[in-house]
Amino acid sequence: MRPVVLCFSGLDPSGGAGLQADIEAVGQAGAHAAIACTAVTIQSSQQVFGFEACAASLVKDQAIAVLDDLPVQVIKSGMLGTTDNIAMLTRLFAEHRIAADTPFVLDPVLVANSGGSLGDEQTLVTAFRELIAYSTLITPNTHELRALSGEEDLHIGAQKLCAQGAHAVLVKTSHDFESGDIKQYLYVKGEMVHQSTLPRLNGEFHGSGCSLASFIAGRLAMGDTLIDAVTSADNWITQTLRAADVPHPNDSKAQLIPNRFIRS
């Protein structure tokens, strides 16, 4: 069967972010997505109204059912919602329920692009510290990078996360609202190994971070190196954003939904 990516993520009823983004992005990368649902959110493409997190035991049982059944090559996590869920995933690694050499893409979701809360930021940040040690790649947005590292400078922040045990950190300046292109830096073991410039597209996108991280996870499952997976995900995400659906054509501030059904 196609290589499997087990994604821990929340349901976003608008279909822009969360587990739907994961399923579509992993599928477009050529792999198969399995999902352990961590939370059900109440949200539109424009804002978060609330969420109910799944109990850690429920999330764990979903994950074990998949791990016992399918050839899971890569783990990806997005919204975990509670410190219990973060601790549960940490334990799956610590207790070798997930093999130590399984690549793990950690998207440390704290808030939605709209600004809506997807968990209690301070306690999530603390709980993430232990999970970070198991990650192959962390894909924080600028807000998450600063919150997790306690550093304003993105480069120092990335190096700090590597020092905390992350193998690699992908830094994008997309949420720093300066004009001009978006810069992206890939740090591995504290060293910058790759940098690129991406066009800044007009508009705000709902689910772009989830899509990018999941596409990278899918490409890693397909056997790409980290740099190849990141490069291929950049090309793909740019196309999905250029082709994004526009739910509110008369509102220039409204968020767009990436169209992930394009071929890379």
Looking at 113, 136, 184, 214, which residue binds ligand PLP (CB under 6 A)?
Answer: 113
Query: Which of residues 3, 18, 103, 218 is near ligand PLP by CB under 6 A?
Result: 18
Measured CA to CA, the distance from residue 78 to residue 33 in angstroms comes to 13
Contact between 258 and ligand PLP per CB under 6 A: no
User: How many Å apart are CA 200 and CA 181, to the nearest integer?
Assistant: 5
Amino acid at 45: S
Binding range to ligand PLP, per CB under 6 A, among 92-100, 110-118, 125-133, 169-177:
110-118
Which residues 197-226 are close enough to bind ligand PLP by CB under 6 A? 206-210
CA torsion 101→105→110→115, rounded to 10°? 180
- Secondary structure percentages of the chain, helix, strand, coil, to 5: 35, 25, 40
3 or 78, CB closer to ligand PLP? 78
Write down the least CB distance from residue 101 to ligand PLP, Å.
26
Whichever of 3 and 10 has its CB closer to ligand PLP, that residue is 10
Q: Which amino acid is located at 260 in the chain?
A: R
- Note whether 6 binds ligand PLP by CB under 6 A: no
* Helix 56-67 and helix 83-94, axial crossing angle in degrees, nearest 10: 30
The footprint of ligand PLP (CB under 6 A) covers 9-10, 12, 17-18, 41, 43, 78-79, 109, 112-113, 118, 206-210
